[in-house]
A and B are shown apart, each in its own frame.
Chain A
Amino acid sequence: DVKVTQSSRYLVKRTGEKVFLECVQDMDHENMFWYRQDPGLGLRLIYFSYDVKMKEKGDIPEGYSVSREKKERFSLILESASTNQTSMYLCASRKLLGTGGFSYNEQFFGPGTRLTVL
Chain B
Amino acid sequence: RKEVEQDPGPFNVPEGATVAFNCTYSNSASQSFFWYRQDCRKEPKLLMSVYSSGNEDGRFTAQLNRASQYISLLIRDSKLSDSATYLCVVSNTDKLIFGTGTRLQVFP
Q: A interface vs B, CB < 8 Å?
A: 31, 35, 40-45, 48, 50, 58, 90, 102-104, 106-107, 109-112
Give the interface SS of chain A, mostly helix, strand, loop or mixed. Answer: loop
Complex: chain A residue closest to B31, CB-CB? A102
From residue 59 to 98 of chain B, which have CB atoms closer than 8 A to chain A? Answer: 87, 91-96, 98
Beyond A31-B94, A41-B100, A45-B95, 20 additional contacts (C-beta under 8 Å) are: A35-B98, A40-B100, A42-B98, A42-B99, A42-B101, A43-B44, A43-B87, A48-B94, A48-B95, A102-B31, A102-B91, A102-B92, A102-B93, A104-B49, A104-B91, A107-B46, A107-B96, A109-B44, A110-B43, A111-B43
Tell me the bound Cα distance from A41 to B4 in angstroms: 11
Tell me the bound Cα distance from A111 to B96 in angstroms: 18
A42 touching B100, Cβ below 8 Å: yes
Complex: chain B residue closest to A31, CB-CB? B94
How many A-B pairs have beta carbons closer than 8 Å: the answer is 44
Which of B8, B43, B46, B95 has a CB less than 8 Å from the CB of A90?
A: B43
The residue among B42, B93, B96 with the most chain A CB atoms within 10 A of its own CB is: B96
How close is B84's CB to chain A, nearest CB, in angstroms?
Answer: 14
Tell me the bound Cα distance from A43 to B32 in angstroms: 17
B32 touching A102, Cβ below 8 Å: yes
Tell me the bound Cα distance from A111 to B44 in angstroms: 9
Q: Enumerate chain B residues within 8 angstroms of A110, measured Cβ to Cβ.
A: 43
Q: Enumerate chain B residues within 8 angstroms of A111, measured Cβ to Cβ.
A: 42-43
Complex: chain B residue closest to A96, CB-CB? B94
